[in-house]
Amino acid sequence: MKSKMNDKSADPSRPNIIIILADDLGFSDVGCFGSEIETPNIDSLASDGGIRFTQMYNCARCCPSRASLLTGVYPHQAGIGHMVYDAGVGPAYQGFLRRDVATVAEMLKRECPGAEENADDFDKDGRKSAKRGGGYATFMAGKWHVGSEYPPDASHEWVQNTMGDETHPTPTQRGFDKFYGTLGGGGSYYQPPSLVRDDGVVKEVMPEGYYYT
């Protein structure tokens, strides 16, 4: 969904953009699509200068649907034709986002794979900067699940040492400035496995009353 916020100084040619993907949610479970359940906050995103998607189709499972939404291509083209494990039958089923397919975050920042790079494209820490391109700041929260497998019983050390390698791309490697969420699939919402803030694993025990969503 795209929403023009109430900031009158915002450039109308570059509105704020919010995309929400909810697992296991039916097409008509949201009020603005006809649900009997009241969802006024979500409805306001669609009505207050926003748009409603009518041609976004799920891909039967969560991670292929995420891959399509993030890239705008079929999940096989993005590298996640089935789930997030390497099926051993080529790049269409490699289980993580392909480097030659850009994400929406990379497009908004114009950090497209294969683009010509120079020293000005990186900050002092060697990370891609937003000096060139669209100038959008990009943020993601929630489940990533498009960067290979993260076993729910994996140790913090394993996750930290594995995330970011060639087969385990992270959100901050694929165009997002900030990220808070889980890299793997399902798990506890009270003490989520593979919970990460930016590029570091969150190791502390969650306080009573914490709930991931």
Per-residue pLDDT of the chain (213 residues; tens, 9 = 90+): 333 444 545 566 778 888 888 877 777 888 988 899 899 988 888 888 777 777 777 888 889 999 999 999 999 999 999 999 999 999 999 999 999 999 999 999 864 444 455 555 555 555 555 445 577 999 999 999 999 999 988 999 999 999 999 999 999 999 999 999 999 988 888 999 899 999 999 999 999 999 987
**How far apart are alpha carbons 86 and 207 in whole angstroms?**
36
Integer Rg of the chain from CA: 18
Q: What is the pLDDT of residue 144?
A: 96
Instruction: State the pairing for strand pair 200-201/178-182.
Output: unpaired
Q: Tell me how far apart the alpha carbons of residues 188 and 12 are, in angstroms, rounded to a whole number.
A: 41
Catalytic residues: 63, 145
Place of tokens 């479970």: 29
For residues 45 and 23, is the Cβ–Cβ distance under 8 A?
A: no
Quick count: other Cβ atoms within 10 Å of Cβ 97? 25
- Spatial distance between the Cα atoms of 162 and 70, rounded to a whole number of angstroms: 22
Q: What is the largest CA-CA distance in the chain?
A: 54
First vs last C-alpha separation in the chain: 19
The residues, ordered by sequence, that sit 6+ positions from 210 with a Cβ below 8 Å of its Cβ are 190
- For the beta sheet containing 200-201, the strands, ordered from the edge strand earlier in sequence to the opposite edge, are 139-143, 178-182, 195-197, 200-201
**What's the pLDDT at 133?**
55
pLDDT (0 to 100) of residue 79: 97
CB neighbour class for 105 (10 Å; exposed up to 12, middle 13-18, buried from 19)? buried
CA pair distance 22, 30, nearest whole angstrom: 11
Supply the pLDDT for residue 21: 83
172 three-class SS: helix
Predicted pLDDT of residue 114: 46
pTM: 0.80
pLDDT of residue 113: 45
